[in-house]
Structure 1
Amino acid sequence: MSKIYLALIFTFLMSSCAFQTLHRNKDINYISPNTLENLPNKSLDVYAPKKADNLPVLVFFYGGSWKSGRKEMYHFLGNRLARRDVIVVIADYPLSPDFEIPEMQASALAAVNWTKDTIENYGGDPDRIFVSGHSAGGHLASLIAVKENELEPSENGKKLAGSILIDAAGLDMYGYLEKMSEGEGKKYLNAFTEDPAVWREYSSIYFLTEKLSPMLILEGERTYPSIRASRERFMKRIEEKGIENVRVKIFPKKKHIPMITQFLWTGSRVYTDVLGFIEEKSTDDF
């Protein structure tokens, strides 16, 4: 390969977003004194371009069956999206068996409220905040989306710009555990308790309204049957209520874990879908 050709490649790469300088602010405590007393101190990381100015923001919650995971495992997601001019907030949250789903949702809600209050300091736009997550994290993001009234508004009165659910679990946890709590679903009872009222309270399918912010659902064609079935029931309820701003995209041949690991490759189609949705809904008068 000629030196001229190598120089051209190097020049192209250096001018691309892959080399954009980032600020990574790590281990920021987001639990305030006004939050529920029984929440443990948890922290988040913020990934932002060095010269960020009024950019859209993605708050991401990782998966792990509500019992495992940590924000440091997802630095690739923060890095790659920040280099495409999206500020990314990745938050830890309480996990089972030490904590249950009410504390997890309260913590996730606190992380989003912290973002709304603080993200301007990092170059983000509090009026363009999207919530997202994979698997169990997608479940938490969905709860925030359908219970948007629990969020604090920005100074302009706006709350969420939208949500992006990546192979989200538990959209109808009540329907799933009602049938499976004595079988394969028993492993989730540490998080969801044995109380069917709790299962229902933390199933986003039962809180859908016409006021739902725009939602993008990304699902692997070969995901777990329980995730597919729950999403299908969720979409049936969406249709019954006449909600029109929910979009589903199925990724051919993709299984559950590859739905998040595909973010490792910058040329993956998932970036086109996610960034396109953020750009589109960032300009909507929502």
Structure 2
Amino acid sequence: MPAQEKRRIVTFGLASLAAAALAACSPVRLLNAAIPSGGYRKTSGIAYGSDPRQVLDVYVPVAAGAAPRPVVVFFYGGSWQNGDRANYLFVAQALTSRGYVAVLPDYRTYPETAFPGFVNDAAASARWTRDHAHEFGGDPSRLFVMGHSAGAHLAALIATDPRYLASQSMSKADLRGVIGLAGPYDFLPIKDPTLLDVFPAGTRAESQPINFVTGHEPPMFLAAGTDDTVVDPGNTDRLAAMLRKHGDSVEVKHYDGFGHIRIVSALALPLRGRSTVLADVSAFIDSR
């Protein structure tokens, strides 16, 4: 059998296994099983704060490339209640495969903290990244924040409400761009009883990125799956409309038939060839 045909069969098999795992609602960490161990250099467990959850990993491409490189901070989702940066190796590998330095922070979640504690952590990790990017071959002037689901909310809120970055001696101008995948940006009223505790009464209006758009936001790439039943894709459309109303730069992409998890799992190597998610994210970053 020709080598090319063997590779095609292996790739198809990995993609089929990954798709089956996702269909069975398996954890996203299963996507890491097919990730190559080479291609990047990882520095683990760097503290960006004093809490045990305030740590991050940095992934640097080993392939020769133009330096300094764009830097992408990725915030994972988990309903602001759970998550582990180690489960998102597949995201780091995807970003480093495109020549970017990837930073994956953990952050405090409920019940350890409630809003706005996890947003403060997101801003603090962005500050650490800006201050230390050069140590990893990154360009601090090309700093992007990216997230999926609750992580997209964190990325969007620190890019719209100026108080979070200001608390870290930063401003919106320090962000070259924002990438949001399946994010909740305009989700009031809250109906989930647990989320009523995550976002305490009296703070909920301040938790909505859409409420802080002023026309001075960094460019955004907002994406959603048409079949997302976890986060209403209307969140993406409403934030995009508000950004456009104020003259901000925004790109919107709807992926036909994609659900809530598929839009981020599409970054994983076994599934990457089945969509343009990584190519679209890369085009956004490379154009800035």
Q: Give the structure-2-normalised TM-score.
A: 0.80
Cα displacement string for residues 239-270 of structure 1 (whole angstroms, at most 9, x for unaligned residues): 433x2401110000000011111111332311
Distance 1:240 1:120 in 2: 36
Listed as ranges, the gaps of 5+ residues in structure 2 are: 8-35
The answer as to 2:207 corresponding to 1:202 is yes
Listed as ranges, the gaps of 5+ residues in structure 1 are: 10-17, 33-38, 282-286
The answer as to 2:130 corresponding to 1:116 is yes
Where does residue 47 of structure 1 map in the other structure?
59
| Structure 2 residue corresponding to 1:231, chosen from 233, 236, 248 | 236
The answer as to 2:198 corresponding to 1:186 is no
AA matched with 2:189: Y
Cα displacement string for residues 105-127 of structure 1 (whole angstroms, at most 9, x for unaligned residues): 11110000000000110010000
The answer as to 2:158 corresponding to 1:144 is yes
In percent, how many aligned pairs have the same letter? 32
The answer as to 2:87 corresponding to 1:73 is yes
How many pairs align? 254
Q: CA deviation at 1:40?
A: 5.3
Where does residue 189 of structure 2 map in the other structure?
176
AA matched with 2:102: V
Q: Rg larger in 1 or in 2?
A: 1
The 1:226/1:19 distance shift into structure 2, 3 A limit, reads closer
Please state whether the residue corresponding to 2:122 is helix, strand or coil. helix
| Structure 2 residue corresponding to 1:57, chosen from 56, 71, 74 | 71
Distance 1:109 1:204 in 2: 14
Q: Residue 229 of structure 2 contacts residue 259 of structure 2 at CA under 8 Å; is this kept in 1?
A: yes
Which stretches of structure 1, 4 residues or more, deviate above 4 A after TM superposition? none
Q: CA deviation at 1:81?
A: 1.4
Q: CA deviation at 1:21?
A: 3.0
Where does residue 15 of structure 1 map in the other structure?
none
Root mean square deviation, CA, Å: 2.7
| Structure 2 residue corresponding to 1:165, chosen from 163, 180, 199 | 180
Please state whether the residue corresponding to 1:101 is helix, strand or coil. coil
AA matched with 2:235: S
Cα displacement string for residues 22-72 of structure 1 (whole angstroms, at most 9, x for unaligned residues): 11111111116xxxxxx5551101111125630001100000111011000
Where does residue 256 of structure 1 map in the other structure?
260
Please state whether the residue corresponding to 2:142 is helix, strand or coil. strand
Please state whether the residue corresponding to 1:263 is helix, strand or coil. coil
Q: Give the structure-1-normalised TM-score.
A: 0.81
Distance 1:28 1:55 in 2: 20
Distance 2:245 2:94 in 1: 37
